[in-house]
A and B are shown apart, each in its own frame.
Chain A
Amino acid sequence: MAKLRTLYDKIWDDHVVDVQPDGSCLLYIDRHLVHEVTSPQAFEGLRMAGRKVRAPEKTLLVVDHNVPTTAEARSHVVDPESKAQIAQLAQNASDFGLEYYDAFDKRQGIVHIIGPEQGFTLPGTTIVCGDSHTSTHGAFGALAHGIGTSEVEHVLATQTLLQSKAKNMRVTVNGKLPAGVTAKDIIMAIIGQIGTAGGTGHVIEFAGEAIRDLSMEGRMTVCNMTIEGGARAGLIAPDEKTFAYLKDRPKAPKGAAWDEAVRYWKTLHSDEGAHFDTEITLDAASLPPIVTWGTSPEDVASIEGVVPRVDDARNDQQKAKIQRALDYMGLKGGEKIADLKVDRVFIGSCTNGRIEDLRAAAKVIEGKKVAAHVNAMVVPGSGLVKDQAEAEGLDKIFVAAGFEWREPGCSMCLAMNPDKLAPGERCASTSNRNFEGRQGFKGRTHLVSPAMAAAAAIAGQFVDIRKWS
Chain B
Amino acid sequence: MDKFTTLTGVAAPLPITNVDTDMIIPKQYLKTIARTGLGAGLFSEMRFKEDGSENPHFVLNKPAYRKATILVAEDNFGCGSSREHAPWALLDYGIRCVISTSFADIFYNNCFQNGILPAKVSPEDLKKLMDDASRGANATLTVDLERQEIKGPDGGVVKFEIAEFNKHCLLNGLDAIGLTLVKSDKIKSFEDKHNTHAWA
Q: Give A148 to B114 CA distance when docked, in angstroms.
A: 11
Beta-carbon contact of A232 and B194 below 8 Å: no
- The answer, yes or no, to whether B31 is at the interface (CB within 8 Å) is yes
Pick from B16, B33, B190 the residue with the most CB of A within 10 Å.
B33
Q: Give A24 to B187 CA distance when docked, in angstroms.
A: 16
Beta-carbon contact of B33 and A44 below 8 Å: yes
Q: Choose from B35, B114, B180, B187 the contact partner of A162 (Cβ within 8 Å).
A: B180
Beta-carbon contact of B33 and A17 below 8 Å: no
Contact of A441 with B181 at beta-carbon distance under 8 Å, contacts A146-B82, A416-B30 already known? no
Q: Choose from B16, B87, B181, B199 the contact partner of A122 (Cβ within 8 Å).
A: B199
Q: CB-nearest residue of chain A relative to B200?
A: A30
- The answer, yes or no, to whether A158 is at the interface (CB within 8 Å) is yes
Beta-carbon contact of A154 and B177 below 8 Å: yes
Beta-carbon contact of B75 and A124 below 8 Å: no
Q: Give A30 to B197 CA distance when docked, in angstroms.
A: 11
Q: CB-nearest residue of chain A relative to B26?
A: A437
Q: Give A415 to B199 CA distance when docked, in angstroms.
A: 36
Q: Choose from B31, B34, B109, B183 the contact partner of A18 (Cβ within 8 Å).
A: B183
Interface string of B30-66 (1 = CB under 8 A from A): 1111110000000001000010000000000000000
Beta-carbon contact of A148 and B110 below 8 Å: yes
Q: Give A257 to B191 CA distance when docked, in angstroms.
A: 18
Beta-carbon contact of A147 and B82 below 8 Å: yes
- The answer, yes or no, to whether B83 is at the interface (CB within 8 Å) is yes
Complex contacts, A65 vs chain B, CB 8 Å: 30
Beta-carbon contact of B45 and A437 below 8 Å: yes
B178 to chain A, nearest CB (A): 9
Beta-carbon contact of A253 and B199 below 8 Å: yes
- The answer, yes or no, to whether A430 is at the interface (CB within 8 Å) is no
Q: Give A373 to B125 CA distance when docked, in angstroms.
A: 51
Instruction: Name the interface residues of B92-118: CB closer than 8 Å to any CB of A.
Output: 102, 104-106, 109-110, 113-114
Contact of A201 with B105 at beta-carbon distance under 8 Å, contacts A416-B27, A416-B31 already known? yes
Complex contacts, A172 vs chain B, CB 8 Å: none
B132 to chain A, nearest CB (A): 18
Q: Give A414 to B26 CA distance when docked, in angstroms.
A: 10
Which one, B4-12, B17-25, B148-156, is touching chain A? B17-25
Tally of A interface residues using CB under 8 Å: 81
Pick from A159, A162, A415 the residue with the most CB of B within 10 Å.
A162
Complex contacts, B198 vs chain A, CB 8 Å: 253, 256-258, 260-261, 264
B2 to chain A, nearest CB (A): 14
Q: Choose from B30, B33, B50, B79 the contact partner of A196 (Cβ within 8 Å).
A: B79
Q: Give A162 to B166 CA distance when docked, in angstroms.
A: 11
Q: Chain B interface residue count: which class?
A: 35 or more
Contact of A158 with B104 at beta-carbon distance under 8 Å, contacts A28-B191, A196-B76 already known? no
Beta-carbon contact of A433 and B187 below 8 Å: no
Instruction: Name the interface residues of B155-200: CB closer than 8 Å to any CB of A.
Output: 163-165, 176-177, 180-181, 183-184, 186-187, 190-191, 194, 197-200
A36 to chain B, nearest CB (A): 9
- The answer, yes or no, to whether A402 is at the interface (CB within 8 Å) is no
Q: Choose from A88, A154, A196, A433 the contact partner of B22 (Cβ within 8 Å).
A: A433
Complex contacts, B50 vs chain A, CB 8 Å: 423, 441-442
- The answer, yes or no, to whether A40 is at the interface (CB within 8 Å) is yes
Beta-carbon contact of B183 and A26 below 8 Å: yes
Q: CB-nearest residue of chain B relative to A232?
A: B105
- The answer, yes or no, to whether A174 is at the interface (CB within 8 Å) is no
Beta-carbon contact of B33 and A150 below 8 Å: no
Interface string of A12-30 (1 = CB under 8 A from B): 0011011010101010101
Q: Give A94 to B128 CA distance when docked, in angstroms.
A: 53
Complex contacts, A164 vs chain B, CB 8 Å: 163
Q: Choose from B27, B34, B80, B183 the contact partner of A132 (Cβ within 8 Å).
A: B80
Pick from A125, A130, A150, A437 the residue with the most CB of B within 10 Å.
A150
Pick from B34, B45, B165, B198 the residue with the most CB of A within 10 Å.
B198
B153 to chain A, nearest CB (A): 24
Beta-carbon contact of B113 and A151 below 8 Å: yes
Beta-carbon contact of B31 and A150 below 8 Å: no
Which one, A107-115, A316-324, A333-341, A451-459, is touching chain B? A316-324
Q: Give A175 to B74 CA distance when docked, in angstroms.
A: 37
Which one, A76-84, A215-223, A277-285, is touching chain B? A76-84
B39 to chain A, nearest CB (A): 15
A184 to chain B, nearest CB (A): 18
A254 to chain B, nearest CB (A): 10
Q: Give A223 to B154 CA distance when docked, in angstroms.
A: 47
Q: Give A159 to B200 CA distance when docked, in angstroms.
A: 13
Complex contacts, A55 vs chain B, CB 8 Å: 191
Q: Give A22 to B15 CA distance when docked, in angstroms.
A: 34
Pick from B109, B114, B180, B199 the residue with the most CB of A within 10 Å.
B199
Beta-carbon contact of B84 and A264 below 8 Å: no
Q: Choose from B17, B81, B165, B191 the contact partner of A22 (Cβ within 8 Å).
A: B165
Pick from B84, B102, B191 the residue with the most CB of A within 10 Å.
B84
Name 29 interchain pairs, CB-CB below 8 A, sorted by A.
A22-B163, A22-B164, A28-B187, A38-B84, A40-B33, A85-B31, A122-B199, A123-B199, A124-B199, A130-B82, A132-B106, A150-B176, A151-B110, A153-B177, A154-B177, A157-B180, A157-B181, A158-B177, A159-B191, A160-B187, A256-B198, A264-B199, A296-B18, A317-B17, A415-B27, A416-B27, A435-B23, A435-B80, A437-B26
14 additional A-B pairs beyond A158-B181, A200-B104, A264-B197, beta carbons within 8 Å, are A79-B31, A81-B31, A147-B106, A148-B110, A150-B110, A157-B177, A158-B184, A162-B176, A264-B198, A265-B199, A320-B16, A414-B27, A416-B30, A433-B81
